[in-house]
Amino acid sequence: MDLSRRGLLGAALALGLAGCLPNPDPRMNWQPSPWPSSDAWRQAAIAEAKLAQVYQQAAGHLAADWCQRASELHQAQADVLAQPDPWGGYQTDHQPVEPWGALDTPVISDRASALAAQHELASQCLTAATSCLNQAVAGVEALLATSLVVSVCVDVDWHQGPSTVRPLPVPGSVLPSRINLGSDIEAAQAALSHAHELKYTLVTAAGIHSRGNSFRSQLLKRHKTVSRWAKDIQAIIWQAGIEPIPPQLSYPLPNPFRSETAIKAAWGAGEANLAQTQIRLAGALGGPTSETIANRAGDGWAVATTLGQTMTFWPGWV
């Protein structure tokens, strides 16, 4: 078969698959390859599946739309973790999660038991995801683990205020894939750049409000937190003997920039951008040193969702 015919057949197959799948894999790589998953990864798959079940059961007692979508998110993550190759697109013949452990979940009968079950299973899921991250090799393995940590950090934050309106997570157009993350220093410089931009947004917004204004206090408190993160990222770069990227004199802001609505939109976008780059940094670093950065990325995405930003099922991959 010549190359042109191969290309036509490949394109036809890709279009056919894309038409059948609700969340098509744009990489169109459907050949499974074995990956020696450890017990930590198997436990993470079980924890994700359990959390998905709890959200499904809790939908009748808590925010139904959020619980249903969160259930879909964690089931998708469990399915990917259970595959022979988590970076090879959704497979139809992967090993199911059930044989790895009994999916026994707490009994849910009312709002209180729903909240308690969600908190218990989210905590288990976070522990399992963090264990994977601490053992992960730098690169796509650490990036996948970081994505799990960040997703469940948003769950934990949601539990603190389930009545807070947030955009529902969406599947997104990208699945975990074997991408090149670049060097850890490149990832650190990118994260630092977005930290500088978010700091500028926060301090500029705070300057609009008078002293004693509660919203101004929120902005300044967050500015202090992001400034601390920026110093830690700078330290990573300095340790490599490289000059950290300096802040710009100014960054683009929406016009006008005086209403709380406009400020929250810019603030949320800045949080999401910084969180995304910190996920990539945690992936590029790998191992225990990335745990703190992954949790900060989770904190950033939790804040971003309360400010109206939409998170995908696989934060950090898009």
Three-state SS letters, the chain: CCHHHHHHHHHHHHHHHHHHCCCCCCCCCCCCCCCCCCHHHHHHHHHHHHHHHHHHHHCCCCCHHHHHHHHHHHHHHHHHHCCCCCCECCCCCCCCCHHHCCCCCCCCCCHHHHHHHHHHHHHHHHHHHHHHHHHCCCCHHHHHHHHHHHHHHHHHHHHHCCCCCCCCCECCCCCCECCCCCCHHHHHHHHHHHHHHHHHHHHHHHHHCCCCCHHHHHHHHHHHHHHHHHHHHHHHHHHCCCCCCCCCCCCCCCCCCCCHHHHHHHHHHHHHHHHHHHHHHHHHHCCHHHHHHHHHHHHHHHHHHHCCCCCECCCCCC
**Cα 163 to the chain's mean position, in Å?**
21
pTM value is 0.86
Q: What confidence category does residue 36 fall into, taking pLDDT thresholds of 50, 70 and 90?
A: low
Q: Residue 117 in contact with residue 54, Cβ under 8 Å?
A: yes
* 106-130 pLDDT, tens digit each: 889 999 999 999 999 999 999 999 9
pLDDT exceeds 70 at position 65: yes
Mean pLDDT over 168-176 rounds to: 92
Mean pLDDT over 70-84 rounds to: 90
Q: What confidence category does residue 4 fall into, taking pLDDT thresholds of 50, 70 and 90?
A: very low
pLDDT exceeds 80 at position 260: yes
How do the domains of the chain map onto residue ranges? Answer: 184-306
pLDDT exceeds 70 at position 279: yes
Q: Residue 309 in contact with residue 272, Cβ under 8 Å?
A: yes
Q: Residue 152 in contact with residue 294, Cβ under 8 Å?
A: no
What per-residue confidence (pLDDT) applies to 100?
Answer: 54
What per-residue confidence (pLDDT) applies to 153?
Answer: 97
Q: Residue 302 in contact with residue 209, Cβ under 8 Å?
A: no
Cis peptide before 256 (omega within 30 of 0): yes
Q: Residue 315 in contact with residue 276, Cβ under 8 Å?
A: yes
The more confidently predicted of residues 39 and 304 is 304
Question: Quick one: what percent of the chain has pLDDT higher than 90?
Answer: 67
pLDDT exceeds 80 at position 220: yes
What per-residue confidence (pLDDT) applies to 11?
Answer: 38
Distance CA 158, CA 74 (A): 15
Which one, of 264, 287, 280, lies nearest residue 315 by Cα? 280
Q: Residue 201 in contact with residue 253, Cβ under 8 Å?
A: yes
Q: Which CATH number applies to 184-306: 1.20.1440.230, 1.20.1260.10, 3.50.50.60, 3.40.50.300? A: 1.20.1260.10
